[in-house]
């Protein structure tokens, strides 16, 4: 195992960035070699494959992981780390080379997108240990669970992700996601939910619910601007029903970090949360990946993920 401690395992998602990874990876691979960075790479073949590849790499002795792709690739890589069976996951270092469509997680940490700056970051090896979220949910009557590193969204957020998944585009963008948000607004019905934590309880109709470890989602939106990935807490944003016109007029708040100043928006910090819905309508997405439905139980794992940052 010691022979692999200094070697990077690189998991590459060819579908990342709407296929942009296929053009970027040969350049990155060449540059890593020129910089004498020792690595072994594997390409994913399908959704979920990165989880398996990362687990196998860690179990074979790798302790340094590079993910090449976007937020979805990061999510699968994080799940591979957390499911590897390593008692102390902070023994494993993770670096993300961002070639995604949203690239939201990197915004909190200011991860560079330019290759030369990113490789310099990798060589400097500055490490931070951030929190990780775990959600337990239901899918087709079965209980499932998923780890996440950025933001979880329920109700409207998951509704938009589900709608957008059925409309393939060459490249997602801030404008495309905002269009999806506006388009879905006129098809959405406010669900009735119960939300419970140690210090916060709510029952009634909602527009959307977000739990953040990091600050950004949806192509640069700040729905959880009070998130701190090092504080051992989720940043919770719960919006009560807002009129369609009200959503449109307050769109700027999604990006300015002032969503909490709206009178129908509640913001809290919690370490765990249970969410249930009355009519089985509420779904959940994490890091942009649609999962399943309620009941959902969220818990935070403090200091679980060691990442490379500038």
Paired strand residues for 129: 306
Task: DSSP letter for 221, please.
Answer: B
Model confidence, pTM: 0.93
Tokens of 163: 């709608």
pLDDT tens digits for range 26-81: 999 999 999 999 999 999 999 999 999 999 999 999 999 999 999 999 999 999 99
Instruction: Examine the domain organization and report whether 137 and 71 are in the same domain.
Output: no
Select from 55, 117, 54 the least CA-distant residue to 85.
55
Query: Is residue 1 very low, low, confident or very high in pLDDT (cuts 50, 70, 90)?
Result: very low
Residue 70 CA to residue 96 CA, distance in Å, equals: 8
For residues 280 and 87, the model is more confident at: 280
Instruction: Examine the domain organization and report whether 172 and 112 are in the same domain.
Output: no
Helix 174-185 × helix 156-165 angle, to 10°: 110
The pLDDT value given to residue 170: 46
Tokens of 295: 């009941």
Residue 6, pLDDT above cutoff 60 = yes
Instruction: Examine the domain organization and report whether 236 and 209 are in the same domain.
Output: yes
Whether omega before 209 lies within 30 degrees of 0, making that bond cis, reads no
Q: What is the mean pLDDT of residues 6-20?
A: 91
pLDDT tens digits for range 155-181: 999 998 888 776 655 455 566 667 777
For residues 238 and 167, the model is more confident at: 238
Instruction: Examine the domain organization and report whether 286 and 168 are in the same domain.
Output: yes
Residue 74 CA to residue 214 CA, distance in Å, equals: 13
Q: CATH no. for residue 228?
A: 2.60.200.40
The pLDDT value given to residue 23: 94
Residue 273 CA to residue 198 CA, distance in Å, equals: 8
Q: What's the longest Cα–Cα distance across the chain?
A: 60
For residues 275 and 248, the model is more confident at: 275
Instruction: Give Rg (Cα) of the chain.
Output: 19
Q: What is the mean pLDDT of residues 209-219?
A: 96
The pLDDT value given to residue 76: 98
Of 92, 125, 158, which one is at a domain's C-terminal end?
125
Instruction: Examine the domain organization and report whether 159 and 200 are in the same domain.
Output: yes
Instruction: Examine the domain organization and report whether 162 and 269 are in the same domain.
Output: yes
Paired strand residues for 8: 39, 64
Mean pLDDT, the chain, integer: 92
Q: CATH no. for residue 71?
A: 3.40.50.10330
Instruction: Examine the domain organization and report whether 32 and 177 are in the same domain.
Output: no
What is the DSSP track for 182-217?
HHHHTT--PPEEEEE-SS-EEEEE-SEEEEESSS-B
Q: Are 265 and 294 in contact (CB under 8 A)?
A: no
Instruction: Examine the domain organization and report whether 76 and 141 are in the same domain.
Output: no
Residue 71 CA to residue 152 CA, distance in Å, equals: 12
Q: Is 220 left (phi over 0), alpha (psi -120 to 50) or beta?
A: left
With tokens 């890593």, the residue in question is 32
In three-state secondary structure terms, 179 is helix
Residue 115 CA to residue 125 CA, distance in Å, equals: 15
> CA neighbours within 13 Å on the CB side: how many for 64?
16
Instruction: Examine the domain organization and report whether 254 and 105 are in the same domain.
Output: no
In three-state secondary structure terms, 5 is coil
In three-state secondary structure terms, 14 is coil
Residue 194 CA to residue 275 CA, distance in Å, equals: 6
The pLDDT value given to residue 265: 98
Instruction: Examine the domain organization and report whether 289 and 146 are in the same domain.
Output: yes
Q: How many residues does the chain have?
A: 310
Q: How many domains does the chain have?
A: 2
Of 81, 98, 125, which one is at a domain's C-terminal end?
125
Of 75, 103, 125, which one is at a domain's C-terminal end?
125
Residue 238 CA to residue 211 CA, distance in Å, equals: 9
Instruction: Examine the domain organization and report whether 169 and 294 are in the same domain.
Output: yes
Residue 110 CA to residue 288 CA, distance in Å, equals: 19
For residues 86 and 182, the model is more confident at: 86
Instruction: Examine the domain organization and report whether 111 and 180 are in the same domain.
Output: no
Does residue 309 sit within a domain? no
Domain residues for 61? 2-125
Select from 28, 18, 114, 110 the least CA-distant residue to 66.
28
């Amino acid at each position: 195992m010691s022979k692999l401690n200094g070697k990077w395992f690189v998991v590459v998602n060819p579908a990342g960035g709407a296929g942009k990874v296929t053009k970027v990876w040969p350049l990155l691979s060449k540059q890593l070699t020129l910089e004498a960075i020792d690595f072994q790479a594997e390409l994913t073949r399908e959704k979920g494959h990165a989880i398996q590849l990362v687990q196998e790499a860690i179990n074979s002795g790798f302790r340094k992981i590079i993910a090449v792709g976007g937020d979805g690739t990061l999510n699968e890589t994080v799940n591979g780390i957390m499911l590897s069976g390593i008692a102390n996951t902070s023994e494993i270092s993770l670096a993300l080379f961002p070639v995604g469509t949203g690239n939201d997680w990197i915004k909190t940490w200011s991860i560079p997108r330019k290759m030369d700056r990113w490789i310099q970051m990798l060589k400097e090896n500055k490490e931070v240990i951030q929190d990780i979220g775990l959600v337990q949910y239901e899918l087709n009557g079965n209980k499932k669970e998923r780890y996440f590193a950025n933001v979880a969204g329920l109700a409207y957020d998951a509704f938009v992700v589900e709608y957008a998944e059925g409309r393939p585009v060459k490249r997602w963008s801030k404008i495309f996601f905002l269009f999806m948000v506006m388009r879905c607004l006129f098809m959405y019905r406010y669900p009735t939910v119960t939300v419970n934590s140690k210090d916060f309880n709510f029952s009634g109709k909602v527009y959307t619910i977000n739990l953040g470890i990091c600050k950004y989602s949806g192509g640069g939106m700040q729905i959880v601007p009070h998130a701190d990935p090092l504080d051992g807490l989720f940043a919770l944003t719960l919006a009560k029903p807002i009129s369609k016109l009200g959503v449109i007029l307050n769109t700027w708040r999604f990006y300015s970090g002032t969503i909490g100043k709206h009178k129908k928006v509640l913001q809290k910090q919690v370490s765990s949360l249970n969410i249930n819905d009355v009519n089985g309508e509420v779904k959940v997405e994490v890091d942009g990946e649609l999962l399943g439905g309620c009941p959902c139980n969220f818990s935070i794992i403090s200091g679980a993920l060691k990442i490379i940052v500038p």
